[in-house]
Amino acid sequence: SQTIHQWPATLVQPVGSPLSLECTVEGTSNPNLYWYRQAAGRGLQLLFYSVGIGQISSEVPQNLSASRPQDRQFILSSKKLLLSDSGFYLCAWSDGVGKAFFGQGTRLTVV
Amino acid sequence: GESVGLHLPTLSVQEGDNSIINCAYSNSASDYFIWYKQESGKGPQFIIDIRSNMDKRQGQRVTVLLNKTVKHLSLQIAATQPGDSAVYFCAENWDTDKLIFGTGTRLQVFP
């Protein structure tokens, strides 16, 4: 069966520090991969999605970037974090027909 | 831009009653809809989906209704239980690469 792993679960980082969140998927090949952000008590905002290695689509302009160095690995990065980058970050995968499956999320607090 | 929205941000129901969570969508090209359940601090979990060629689909204790005429989606939960307390999101898809989420509705179940 397919599984998705996302880490770390929680992260506290100072303003101006770099960020790297990693997400990996097992049990499937060539998945679509997604990064979402969720502010407290709010909905999910699509940040990036990828349909293949090295293919990244950005949905909103921001201080973040994404990379897909391997088929089942998706990385969310920042060179310098802002206070406004705080939130709950969720990685998800789909088989391309719509239904997405989520990881457990990373709670990022920028201080 | 086009978005998926919800009528009620919070819904309180008594244990044993039926719950109805509503969602309005604005993109007439959307052809696939999903309901997710998100418990506190966790990633969203898939509940049920429906394609635009259907107007009703049933699962275990849940039913999704789709009214394309008024662009409305609803999730009905029968015999609501305390474990159903969570935030529920509807999501729409009109491009196989992206899944767009609504704001969410918090369901509170009281004894």
Q: CA nearest B89 in A: which residue?
A: A43
Domain boundaries, chain A: 17-96
Compute the nearest-CA separation of B18 from chain A (Å).
Answer: 24
Token couple for B42: 């966790």
Euclidean distance between CA atoms A44 and B30, whole angstroms: 18
Of residues B96 and A42, more confidence is placed in A42
Lowest mean pLDDT among B10-24, B25-39, B51-65: B25-39
CB contact under 8 Å between B46 and A46, yes or no, is no
Q: Which fold has domain B4-110?
A: Immunoglobulin-like (2.60.40)
pLDDT by residue (tens digit) across B38-79? 998 899 999 999 999 999 999 999 999 999 999 999 999 999
Superfamily of domain A17-96: Immunoglobulins (2.60.40.10)
pLDDT per residue, tens digit, chain A (111 aa), is: 889 999 999 999 999 999 999 999 999 999 999 999 988 777 888 999 999 999 999 988 778 999 999 999 999 999 999 999 999 999 999 987 778 999 999 999 999
State the amino acid at position A9 in one-letter form.
A
Q: Is the pLDDT of residue B97 over 90?
A: no
Evaluate if residue B18 carries a pLDDT over 50.
Answer: yes
The pLDDT of residue B2 is 37
Binary contact (B43, A105; C-beta < 8 A): yes
- In B, what residues contact A, Cβ < 8 A? 32, 34, 36, 41-46, 49, 89, 91, 93, 96-104
Model pLDDT, residue B96 = 63
In three-state form (DSSP H/G/I as H, E/B as E, the rest C), the secondary structure along B72-93 is EEEEEECCCCHHHCEEEEEEEE
Going from N- to C-terminal start, the domains of chain B cover 4-110
Distances in whole angstroms, Cα of residue B3 to Cα of each of A14, A50, B39, B79, B81: 33, 21, 23, 30, 30
Question: Can you spell out the DSSP letters for B22-45?
Answer: EEEE--TT--EEEEEEE-TTS--E
Structural contact between residues A99 and A84, judged by C-beta atoms closer than 8 angstroms: no
Q: Are A4 and A23 in contact (CB under 8 A)?
A: yes
